[in-house]
Amino acid sequence: MRDLNEHNITDAVLESFAATPNPRLLTIIKSLVRHIHGFVKDVEPTFDEWLYAIQFLTRTGQISGQSRQEFILLSDVLGVSMLVDAINHRTPKGATETTVLGPFFVEDAPQFEHGDDLSNGTPGAPLYVDMTVAAASGEPLSDAVVDVWQSDSEGFYDVQRADLTGHNLRGRFRTGPQGELRFWSITPTAYPIPDDGPVGELLEASQRHPWRPAHLHFMISAAGYQPLVTHIFVDGDIYLDSDAVFGVKQSLIDSFPEQPAGTGPNGRIMDAPWRKLKYSFGLTPL
């Protein structure tokens, strides 16, 4: 451990971890050391640049909290979240493709019943969701847990609004006997990811925009199946081909067709046109 230099320090560091008892941890540490040393040798950062990198990561942690996870956001904009997702979800035929969880999921979403409205009067174009949950083989899955969340028409999630005392535009349902679920909400709109912190600085410095195309979030779980985390995107959105977090997949795009004013589902009188999402979700068995 003496006379270390740029040519032999990597091997010395790797040797220092050789006694790690957990083989998986050892594999991860050794790969991390090799890659980060390789990065430093490739970039050859100055002391000021390396200090800025440390300060950037420090500020990323400091701005994170209960309602905001800047490290998830950083992982998202670097494409790492989608890469991890792709590696862990090589879906079989019939299974819905996955995408990123995002930084705005919460565990304590309120419970809703079939036919309920998630919007609680929030302004926006009415949206009726008619969905089913099934196994990849096609077998309907009853009593599956379905979490739904979305931004409002101004591009904010409830956890971003200081004026809200509870949750809005998010909820938890359970599917019916044939895997069915129907509810009301508002049509999602495009929105920017939070860009007032370190991740925003990164995007600005690289001349990238912070926008995500309009979508609904879904997280679906059922006994004996892998949890599904995905979005359904609105066709025609201008950001579909430049999503700030690289989450768009063709199979997850729907037209959300407009419906005429008049009598809507369950006899609801619609004074203006509304939109409908009809989608079937397939889950991968464990």
Digit-coded pLDDT (tens) for 234-265: 999 999 999 999 999 999 999 999 999 998 88
Domains of the chain: 9-63 (no CATH), 74-283 (2.60.130.10)
Task: Give the per-residue SS3 of the chain.
Answer: CCCCCCCCHHHHHHHHCCCCCCHHHHHHHHHHHHHHHHHHHHHCCCHHHHHHHHHHHHHHHHCCCCCCCHHHHHHHHCCHHHHHHHHHCCCCCCCCCCCCCCCCCCCCCCECCCCCECCCCCCCCEEEEEEEEEECCCCECCCCEEEEECCCCCCCCHHHCCCCCCCCCEEEEECCCCCEEEEEEECCCCEECCCCCHHHHHHHHCCCCCEECCEEEEEEECCCECCEEEEEEECCCCCCCCCCCCCCCHHHEECCCEECCEECHHHCEECCCEEEEEEEEEECEC
Residue-wise pLDDT for 144-184, tens only, equals 999 999 999 888 888 888 777 778 899 999 999 999 999 99
**pTM value > 0.85:** yes
What pLDDT, on a 0 to 100 scale, did the predictor assign at position 41? 97
